[in-house]
Amino acid sequence: MRISLVWKVMGAFILVSVLSVLSVGFFARYVTTQQFGQFQDQQILSNYATILQDYYSQHHTFAGVFPEQRNGPGQGPAFVIAGPDGKVIVGNNRFRSGEVLPGDIQKRSVELQVDNQVVGELVLLPRNNDPRPNGLGPREREVLSQISAAILYAMLATVVGSVVLGAILSGVLLRPVRKLSEAIQLMRSGQTLPVASAPRDELGDVLIAFSDMSHEVNHANQLRKQMTADIAHDLQTPLTVLRGYLEAMQEGTLKPTPERLKTLHQEARHLSDLVADLRTLSLADAGELQLQKIALDPAELLQEAQNTFFHLAQTAGVELRTEVDATLQSTPMDPTRMMQVLKNLVGNALKYTPAGGRITLAAHSTPTTTVLSVQDTGAGISSDSLPLIFERFYRADESRSGHNSGLGLAICKSIVQAHGGSIEVQSTVGKGTTFSLSLPV
């Protein structure tokens, strides 16, 4: 049988409150009875001590001070007078003169003083079959009954209050749990639950964290679906070209001319590059991207990238230059992987920088990092596209994508992160774009 968490919380509140009030009520009544009896004993002893002290002052003896004491039901309090050594001076039918009183009975006593001298101790004897010394009278029992009733009412009020408080607190405490359950159900259906407000406690932190996670999972699912569609599209186009040419050549419709073979080679190379890019990303996702790090001068890496693209830049009418800080430090990196990053960034810059523009490869060091940057004076990237450019298969300009798979910047980010660094981009439409790579020294 399924029991709601609300009832469990309320049951816990009720159980704790009932046990608490029962224990408090029991001890309160016990202590009240004891203290009330002790107070009554002291009052009785004080009253009788005054009478006995006056009697001794007049007669200089306690002889004949007590009438016969039976200490039976319905009788008044029973006393004996004892000396400092505990021997009975004036006794009754229970303790005769000369007997030594038990120690526990001597505790219920008061000193009798005449002219500042102790002449004896008045000892109050307990009634037979009554655990209380001297018992309680009807009035005292009535007062104790009223106190007990008040304690009982307080216990009932506490239990009722705990039920109400448990209901309120369970609703407050479990509200984030209900929202979390709702978010899980929505997540199953591919939706997300926005968190308008959350309590500032651990449950609120869990709710916010789960909401953020559900957004990330939903976004990842969308990217996965889009990536699947993009992969299918990027594979379909070259495969269609290859299949069409090969079938036509097989049927004799087309002859295998050098131009057609070149086209087939380009499409096959595009497929190979796409598969290689996908493999690189899969290795990065699995944390298995192998890096062969060496202490490398970043200036040499930038110079190599400049030499690689110098002819293409000159042909396009774009100035390609390097700017290296004098305090540049050697940095551990994989030269092949980092050159792959720079080639991708410089190649993109050349695509979007018009003739007369400039591409600058720069590097400088801080005490903890080395920063490489690729800055161009091209068309720039819109603010809408800027947060998305590192996502897989994203193309800011579909019309100019050509054979670009949309994986280049995603691979750049994965390689830089595998080095323990980070990559950032700043861009202004019409003024240019700057990619900055921060690598630990």
pLDDT digits (tens, 9 = 90+) for 251-266: 888 888 888 888 888 8
Distance, CA of 373 to CA of 341 (rounded, Å): 11
Helices 138-188, 5-59: axis angle to 10 degrees equals: 160
Give the integer Cα–Cα distance in Å for 11 and 88.
60
Is residue 151 within 8 Å of 25, Cβ to Cβ?
yes
Q: How far is CA 311 from the centre of its chain?
A: 57
What is the rounded CA–CA span in Å between residue 28 and residue 32? 6
Length of the chain: 441
**pLDDT tens string 176-199:** 777 777 777 777 776 666 665 665
Q: Which residues contact 426 (CB under 8 A, 6 or more apart)?
A: 433, 434, 436
For residues 198 and 176, the answer to whether their CB atoms sit within 8 Å is yes
Mean pLDDT within 245-250? 88
Report residue 411's pLDDT band, with 50, 70 and 90 as the boundaries. Answer: confident
Model pLDDT for residues 10-48, shown as the tens digit of each residue = 777 778 777 877 787 777 777 777 776 777 777 778 888
Q: Could you give the percent of the chain with pLDDT greater than 70?
A: 84
320 vs 167, residue with greater confidence: 320
Q: How far is CA 111 from CA 59, 68, 292, in A?
A: 18, 22, 99
Greater model confidence, 284 or 413: 413
The stretch 54-79 carries a mean pLDDT of: 68
Per-residue pLDDT at 46: 85
Q: Is the per-residue pLDDT at 69 higher than 60?
A: no
Q: Which residue has the higher pLDDT, 46 or 9?
A: 46
Of residues 227 and 315, the one with the higher pLDDT is: 315
Top pLDDT among 109 and 435 is at 435
Average pLDDT over residues 100-116: 80
Q: Is the pLDDT of residue 333 over 60?
A: yes
* 363 Cβ contact partners less than 8 Å away, ≥ 6 residues apart: 298, 299, 302, 322, 323, 324, 325, 328, 370, 371, 372, 373
Query: What would the mean pLDDT of 316-325 be, rounded to a whole number?
Result: 93
Tens of pLDDT, residues 364-405: 998 899 999 999 999 888 888 888 888 776 666 554 444 555
State how far the alpha carbon of 423 is from the alpha carbons of 3, 173, 419, in Å.
52, 42, 11
pTM listed for this prediction = 0.52
Distance CA 327, CA 119 (A): 105
Which domains are assigned to the chain? Answer: 5-150 (no CATH), 202-285 (1.10.287.130), 294-440 (3.30.565.10)
The set of residues, in sequence order, having a beta carbon less than 8 Å from that of 174 and lying 6+ positions away, is 5, 6, 9
For the stretch 339-352, pLDDT in tens is: 989 998 999 899 89
Token pair for 364? 């400088």
Please give the Cα distance from 238 to 41 (Å, whole number): 109
> Of 299 and 62, which is predicted with more confidence?
299
According to DSSP H, which parts of 353-403 are helical?
none
Mean pLDDT for all residues in the chain: 79
328 three-state secondary structure: coil
pLDDT score, position 276 = 81
Q: Is 161 helix (H, G, I), strand (E, B) or coil?
A: helix
Is the pLDDT at 134 greater than 50? The verdict is no
Tell me the Cα Rg of the chain. 49
Query: Does the structure show a pLDDT above 90 at 319?
Result: yes
Phi, psi at residue 425, to the nearest 5°?
-140, 140
- pLDDT value, residue 131: 44
